[in-house]
Amino acid sequence: MTTTPATPVTADRTDSRTAVVTGASSGIGAATARALAAEGFRVVCAARRRDRIEELAAEIGGVAVACDVTDPASVATLAATVGEELSVLVNNAGGAFGSGTVETADPADWRAMYEVNVLGVLHVTQALLPALRASGDGLIVNVGSTAGRIAYEGGGGYTAAKHGTQVVTETLRLELCGEPIRVSEIAPGMVRTDEFSLVRFDGDRAKADAVYAGVPDPLVAEDVADAISWIATRPSHVNIDELVIRPRAQAAQHKVHREA
């Protein structure tokens, strides 16, 4: 795997396949956009922060679209920009907000997590399914989490939302069986990115850093992006239903090796 910036797409490197990556302004989304561009895709980088995705799109020869996946009108603009055919959709936009117990959690945080992790996937998938179908060989990769497979204290809202992502993925695969569209989920474990834990703990750097304290070599965004790129480049008849990816130091959600 390489973490060097992708060479901008040119006419002799691509077969005109288009990929959409939501949440492309940072972390796994930005790394995935670079990885798919390196494979020859024309990448539509979608996120709310226009300045970041414009810089990324310029770097990889892609297209920047300001998009809030929780807003159907914004998603419709994304679909119009994509056009009639789409080969790959990576539903990466998501997030965790707060770490309260079920007893103390702010319902607004839970609502926001459901909106982006579940309804966001729904809005974007509904809008882009016609273009995926028209390509004759479409792929949807939903970015879930190991939190979508097991519960843990203080994570009720996030685990509920990511369980939702998983079930939406499974249901969609059943409903599209027989059509030329593959449906996959990638479920990362402990990934250290610039923003995920910082957002979850409302900007508290000490709490965010404590998540990874003593953990030798947690995953980084490029590790997950490399796996997504691998899924996207399998032969058309090969569907990777789900791929759980963790660092070696994390044997399970509750079992993490930490060095003193």
Which residue, 77, 55, 82, 80, is CA-closest to 66? Answer: 77
- Could you give the residue numbers annotated as active site? 158
Cα 109 to Cα 106, 158, 177, 197: the distances in Å are: 5, 9, 35, 14
Using the structure block, give the residue that is written with the tokens 């809202």: 157
Give the burial class of 101: count Cβ atoms within 10 A of its Cβ; 0-12 exposed, 13-18 middle, 19 or more buried.
exposed
Tell me the residue type at 229: S
255-256 and 250-252 as β-strands: parallel, antiparallel, unpaired? antiparallel
In three-state secondary structure terms, 79 is helix
> How many whole angstroms separate alpha carbon 225 and alpha carbon 34?
8
| Strand partners of residue 242 | 185
Contact 216, 249 (CB under 8 A): yes
Which residue, 243, 219, 217, is CA-closest to 229? Answer: 243
Provide the H-helix boundaries in the chain: 27-38, 50-60, 72-82, 107-114, 120-135, 156-175, 196-200, 205-212, 221-232
Using the structure block, give the residue that is written with the tokens 């992790």: 117
Using the structure block, give the residue that is written with the tokens 């070599």: 217
